[in-house]
Amino acid sequence: MHATPRDPARYLPEKKVTAAGGAGGVALVLVWLASLAGLDMPEAVAHGFVYLAALVAAYLAPHTRRDDTEEA
């Protein structure tokens, strides 16, 4: 018996996950650039900025619609 071929797009991450990861990475680079420019912030503030950027991006990103809802 052969396995049914599946659409490769099914294995792509959700848009919300991609947005959160990208925003977190951009925020991290911004924190690094700010430190190079001489802006010294506490570590907890830098972590909070990265977290909030990822949270907002994930919230605002559209949900990925899937045609198939079957379990893997």
12-47 residue pLDDT tens: 888 999 999 999 999 999 999 999 999 999 999 999
In a domain, 3, yes or no: no
* pLDDT recorded at residue 1: 58
* pLDDT recorded at residue 13: 85
Distance CA 6, CA 3 (A): 9
In a domain, 36, yes or no: yes
Domain that holds residue 33: 13-60
* pLDDT recorded at residue 17: 93
In a domain, 41, yes or no: yes
In a domain, 71, yes or no: no
Are 10 and 60 in contact by the 8 Å Cβ rule? The answer is no
Rounded mean pLDDT, 50-64: 94
- How many distinct structural domains can be found in the chain? 1
Reported as a single tens digit per residue, the pLDDT across 61-70 is: 998 887 665 5
In a domain, 35, yes or no: yes
In a domain, 70, yes or no: no
